[in-house]
Amino acid sequence: MWIEIGKTVRAAIGDWGTTCRLAVCVGVLTVSAVVLAAAGVL
């Protein structure tokens, strides 16, 4: 499992375009989760 994750990480680092897209996706998901959580609390 960890070996597969390592390969994926190395491949992503090798391709900055993919890395940027991944970062954007994670950021969007994080913001969405925070907004939904805030909406749920309010």
Helices 16-41 & 2-14 angle (0-180, nearest 10): 110
- In this prediction, residue 20 carries a pLDDT of 80
Handedness of CA 5, 8, 24, 32 (dihedral sign): negative
- In this prediction, residue 31 carries a pLDDT of 94
Predicted confidence (pLDDT) per residue in 1-42, tens digit = 678 888 887 876 777 777 788 889 899 999 999 999 999 886
Structural domains of the chain, count: 1
Range of the domain at 30: 2-41
Enter the pTM of the model: 0.52
